[in-house]
Structure 1
């Protein structure tokens, strides 16, 4: 019988906080309960925000919490060739297109439509969908603009991708961390519009790299926060398009602050290192997170 494989996949763009601790501990607990393996993945494709110091902090914090994982950790920045190979397949199948619209141009298109009294569609996170007009650019025009050095991103043509799959998609979702029950969820990738799959100088994005990494690492159980529940629809679509295996999923509850807001690195919510400096112990952290 194949052992279950779990992963904790933080980005080294800030200090780990209580939300990360909860996710790491849930993954570790589920791996221990099932006799499975726990892997660490460093999601560092954003070279402008990710730093070696933050990466070292991840290792220090996990060691302090008592979360152990198989070594070596996978660092995404060392595996761009893996993502490029999958991107090239999507390009060859004409399922992605180069998008040249600037953020300002997108905002202008949205403002024009909304001024006319027509609401602009938004994704499950509340962000406006990308305008679809670039889907119809000719291949000659695309090639000309790329050769001219215009900045662009590769976007998934989600309608064409769904037509290529030709059927509805779903996934198996565990309903609690003890894996006592599961249910089927129906994917709705078109709710996201034409998401970014890669950029001109970085041959991947979160959506592409996460499904490629999960496949190459043999991940059988993806355990992550509820904020990523809806993104699973895009991941299931990419898995089908690229012939990648489908894990089962568990999207755990989020750790919120006193105002009910999700903890965030960008808002400098108290990190584990700071709590450690205040004298908190790993047992204190577990207690704060509701672990017995």
Structure 2
């Protein structure tokens, strides 16, 4: 039996225990455009990929968004709006978290292990080792739901693994121009899942990867490239989506039809969901 302080919800479930470190809100704010990353592409499927001359490079065309936090230890990011993590950069005590597939109104709520954040009012709890395990200076993470993505669409015919859209009940969208008309136009295969009322934020437990024929109007031609999965909360639910992966290589491809294939179906992630309106925005 624990010997320290415990707090319980109205339904009797444990809210926090001072013997266990809790996650709390470290920062919230909009994601900002911080860079554009290009892609290497094979000029033709008939060329030797081992020959450097077979490759071209499209510079600064995939918008990358970011948000910087100080003193992060093990951050978890929940988004309102589309987006998916694509790396980070560390400079001293600052960490910039990168995301792809975002729009100018995508919100980020960054949670981290609770610790001393300089607040000198409210309540602090310590574990047996003297570490802060709970502080009202970091509003605690409260996951209200876990949501499974819809099933992956069956192949268009029994002898292929090609799918016109990734999710059953979903569709393809034209995206990529949220920040500039000079960026890549690219497809996004998305689906909305209703969860609860209000503005919600979501975090995907892991991301599946697949292959994609980018059959939208891409100017020089259609590319076959890698794609991966993301999610974000919205009013009343969660959007799951597949879109081109960041800094991926691509192959010129003749088909003008958007299609998705090699999507893993033996396992799937979940979206963890919080109610965004329960947290201050912006914060720190």
> Normalization by structure 1: what TM-score?
0.22
**Whose strand proportion is higher, 1 or 2?**
2
Q: Which protein shows a greater Rg? A: 2
> Normalization by structure 2: what TM-score?
0.23
